[in-house]
Copies of this chain bind each other. A is one copy, B any other.
Amino acid sequence: MLSSIVFYALDKAIRSYRRMAQATIDRAGLDITIDQWLVLRVLLEHDDLTQHDIAERVFKDQASVARMLALLTRRGLLSAVPLPHDGRRTQLRVTEAGHRILAAVQPIVLQNRTKALAGISEEELAVLRPLLDRIALNCAPPA
């Protein structure tokens, strides 16, 4: 049975969470995806990252990050100022509008996490985390 396979349950859990999270953001009238939110959050704290660095932090592909940055910039949530010492790169800064939307999304995300973890104890979470890390590690490319 499909349902007996742990990877199926894994996939289902994270997808359920993402759907629920996006729905709550949409319902709040906020025009941003959770992936965009994640990237914007990272940039809030580090404005000197390459696309590759960002991709590593959010565990995405550089190409995906490139397109998300372009989108965020087009939407005015991010500004890209050319860096003087490296003609390839830009300094990425969250704009005023970006800050506003981050602030608006933040409490929603916290609520979502609480909702998603309802009925799960700290001890159980403490078991869960290393297992997930182990799976990721087992599947990581040889480097």
Instruction: Determine whether A19 belongs to the interface, using a CB cutoff of 8 Å to chain B.
Output: yes
Minimal beta-carbon separation of A124 from chain B (angstroms)? 6
Q: How does the 8 Å CB contact mask read for A7-25 relative to B, with 1 for contact and 0 for none? A: 1111111111101100100
Of all chain B residues, which has the CB nearest A15?
A: B59
Please report the C-alpha to C-alpha distance between residue A125 and residue B7 in the assembled complex, in whole angstroms. 11
The number of chain A residues with a CB under 8 A from chain B is 44
- Residue in B5, B15, B57, B135 whose CB lies within 8 Å of A13: B135
Minimal beta-carbon separation of A98 from chain B (angstroms)? 18
Contact residues of A: prevailing secondary structure = helix
Please report the C-alpha to C-alpha distance between residue A108 and residue B118 in the assembled complex, in whole angstroms. 36
- Residue in B19, B128, B141 whose CB lies within 8 Å of A20: B141
A15-68 interface (Cβ within 8 A of B): 15-17, 19-20, 23, 38, 42, 57-59
Residue numbers in B under 8 Å from A42 (CB-CB): 2
Minimal beta-carbon separation of A123 from chain B (angstroms)? 10
A58–B17 touching, CB < 8 Å: no
Please report the C-alpha to C-alpha distance between residue A13 and residue B115 in the assembled complex, in whole angstroms. 21
Instruction: Determine whether A133 belongs to the interface, using a CB cutoff of 8 Å to chain B.
Output: yes
Minimal beta-carbon separation of A79 from chain B (angstroms)? 23
B124–A59 touching, CB < 8 Å: no
Given pairs A7-B17, A9-B136, 7 additional interface contacts (CB within 8 A)? A2-B38, A2-B42, A5-B113, A10-B132, A16-B139, A17-B139, A128-B131
